[in-house]
Amino acid sequence: MAQPVSDSKLPAAIAFGMCAVGLVLGLIGGFWSGSYAGGIIAGLGAIPAMVGMWKGIQQETQTTLGLSVLAVLSALGVGALLLILAIVHTVRT
């Protein structure tokens, strides 16, 4: 029988932190101009969030799994938004 994995929300917290760093980088250059670096960093936040999803499935707890799903969606959303804004800004200029 497998040992239960300890409850850890750290991967989701890391993902939300990477989203925040991406947003800060996007705001430095002006939000409407987007940020390639910010979009990539925020998008990469999906990786630790997916690890958190795996841990939530292993633990069979809905809080860790739900928080991690929210972190994946926010990381991908923020990353895509910043990248799309950066591409639009580049095409306009």
pLDDT in tens, 24-62: 999 898 878 888 999 999 999 999 999 999 988 888 878
CA 61, 11, 42: angle at the middle one, nearest 5?
130
Instruction: Label residue 6 by pLDDT band (50, 70, 90).
Output: low
> pTM of the prediction?
0.84
